[in-house]
Amino acid sequence: MAVWAAAALMFGVSTSASCRRETRTPRVYVIGLDGATWDIIDPLIAQGKLPVFKALKEEGAWARLRTFDPTLSAVVWTSIATGKTMIKHGIVDWTFVNKHNLQVPYSSSEKRVPSIWEMMDEHGLRSVVLNWFVTYPPDAVSGVMVSDSFSAAALKTLSGKGDPEALIDTVYPPEEFPKLYVILSRMNAEGALKYPRLVREMEIPDYIAEFKTRYPEDVKRVPILSVWPSFLAYDRIQDTLVDHYLEENDYDLFLAYYRFPDVFFHFATLFLEKEYHDRIDAFVGAPVEPSPEVLDEFNRKMAEVAWPILREKEALLSKVVERARLEKAYLLVVSDHGFLMSSKGYTHYGLPDGTPPPDGILALIGPDVKPGLRIEASVYDIAPTILYLKGLPVGADMDGKPLLEPLTVRRPVRTALYTRMRHQPAKENPELDKKKLEELRSLGYIK
Ligand SMILES: [Zn+2]
């Protein structure tokens, strides 16, 4: 334990004590579901299969969340957290070539503008930030940041490769790390992170076995399948982190990001009924785009395939919805983009010329939110809306605006300029970088 304590000193501890705490406004929860789309959720709601998503839409305001090219998750989730375009925030791709001429993933060190948790910190408010994109190394803000490098690093160490002490800097403040590592070690010892058990407990099909049955000659064709067990484990670890920090009472903003269902959608067409799959596959590379009728049918069929994955996330959502209702807090459920079937396949980037990027989702519930109202919103509106809901000034140079339309009680909008206060020095972590690049390759995002 002495090592943890020394690390805590080395990294410095939170300075929130010196900040004045603003009058308490309702807490704000944000759940990020990468790639979630109403195109797939709505047909399932209509069949009564996703009661929690249905309740979100009926009880709160919702939008087809407008997004912007390139719909690369690292770029868009940073826009969501900053309220700014990629030109301003500086995360313009998955990776860049560093000074050693190596391809490395973007890290929080390259961010040029403050994220919502830094703005909270500036006003003496605490945030819990779990697994948000481009958060390694984590910012030294008051509250807790479990960076997007934590799960992969922890999983690797738990499998006996690597030293836990090397992972302390994936979490802020560093004294959180040993607590989390104890929880994960216990899960690991019980076999809870093993693939067959994950499949069973998440109540989702064993897609790897199913793929081998359907395409026995072709197992190597789908690189995602080799990293799928890790993605399931990350998702389960994220559930555990969410459960753990929901129990802590001292936070004003709670942000948790899930890479589901994006990862699944990238290979989900393989699980469409064989004959239909071949029919829809004929559109890939074809000169004519599928008609709206074909797309409707496709979305209905894809909804059936995706149901287990979305149902799995409803367990988590219902927990957070319950909590938000009880506390009279706000909850935003957000995605960075949807998916679209086209001549480029079922994807969200590299679409045919002139095709706008597919919308993400937004659902907002809270004490004074008009029920069932459809609104217009974009990914840039999320950060200013969070600031507004917390009674704070909105960033004057943000590209979005606070979503006032769904609120019955409105205050004047104040503005201020926020600056990135605690710029993290870049850290070289070739092992973690290698793992991230391997996953990006398996998803077809980089070559
Ligand atoms: Zn994404």
Sequential DSSP letters for 25-44:
PPPEEEEEETT--HHHHHHH
pLDDT in tens, 179-196: 999 999 999 999 999 999
Mean pLDDT on 381-390: 98
**Ligand 1 midpoint to CA 31 (Å):** 14
**What whole-number distance in Å separates Cα of residue 222 and Cα of residue 372?**
40
Distances (CA, A) of 256 to 20, 112, 148, 172, 410: 26, 22, 11, 15, 27
In the reported structure, the alpha carbon of residue 76 is separated from the centroid of ligand 1 by a whole-number distance in angstroms of: 7
Q: Give me ligand 1 centre to Cα 222, in Å.
A: 19
70-75 mean pLDDT: 92
**Distance from residue 162's CA to the centre of ligand 1 (Å):** 29
109 band by pLDDT with thresholds 50, 70 and 90:
confident
The per-residue pLDDT for 226 is 83
Distance from the alpha carbon of residue 65 to the mean position of ligand 1, in angstroms: 13
pLDDT digits (tens, 9 = 90+) for 326-358: 999 999 999 999 999 999 999 999 999 999 999
What pLDDT, on the 0 to 100 scale, is given for residue 20? Answer: 42
User: pLDDT tens, 264-296?
Assistant: 999 899 999 999 999 999 999 999 999 999 999
Ligand 1 centre to CA of 414 (Å) is 31
CA 67 to chain centre: 15
pLDDT above 80 (res 100) = no
Give 165 Cα–ligand 1 centroid separation in angstroms.
Answer: 31
Whole-number average pLDDT of the chain: 89
Give me the mean pLDDT over the 405-414 stretch: 94
Q: Residue 218 pLDDT more than 50? A: yes
Tokens of 416: 């201020």
Q: Give the tokens for residue 206.
A: 């064993």
Q: Name the residue among 14, 10, 54, 95 with its Cα closest to residue 314.
A: 54
Q: How far is the CA of 23 from the centre of ligand 1 (A)?
A: 35
CA of 245 to the centre of ligand 1 (A): 24
Q: What is the pLDDT of residue 261?
A: 86
Tell me, in angstroms, the distance from the centre of ligand 1 to residue 200's CA. Answer: 26
Report the pLDDT value the prediction gives residue 431, as an integer from 0 to 100: 74
Structure-token pair, residue 246: 């929901």
Q: How far is the CA of 73 from the centre of ligand 1 (A)?
A: 4
Q: Give the confidence band of 168 by pLDDT, cuts at 50, 70, 90.
A: confident
412 vs 298: CA distance, rounded Å = 45
Cα separation, 412 vs 103, whole angstroms:
46
Report for 227-231, 277-281, 386-390: range of highest mean pLDDT: 386-390
Q: Residue 33 C-alpha to ligand 1 middle, in angstroms?
A: 8
Neighbours of 167 (CB within 10 A): 22
pLDDT exceeds 50 at position 4:
no
CA of 35 to the centre of ligand 1 (A): 5
pLDDT at 21: 47
Taking the centre of ligand 1 as the mean of its atom positions, its distance from the CA of residue 335, in whole angstroms, is 7
Q: Band the pLDDT of 424: cuts 50, 70, 90.
A: low
Say yes or no to pLDDT of 321 above 50: yes
pLDDT category at 219 given cuts 50, 70, 90 is low
Compute the C-alpha angle 24/28/29, nearest 5°: 150
- For residue 423, the model assigns a pLDDT of 61
Residue 77 CA to ligand 1 centre (angstroms): 8
Q: What are the boundaries of each domain within the chain?
A: 2-6+21-442
What pLDDT is stored for residue 30 in this prediction? 98
Kindly give the distance from the C-alpha atom of residue 5 to the centroid of ligand 1, in angstroms, as a whole number: 37
Residue 206 has pLDDT above 50, yes or no: yes
Statement: residue 441 has pLDDT above 90: no
| Model pLDDT, residue 90 | 85
Give CATH for domain 2-6+21-442.
3.40.720.10
From ligand 1's centre to the CA of 69, what distance in Å? 11
pLDDT(205) > 70: yes
Single-letter code of the amino acid located at 55: A
* Per-residue pLDDT, 225: 82
pLDDT band at 257; cut points 50, 70, 90:
very high
In whole angstroms, give the CA distance from residue 69 to residue 88: 14
Give the dihedral of Cα atoms 354, 360, 365, 369; nearest 10 deg: 0
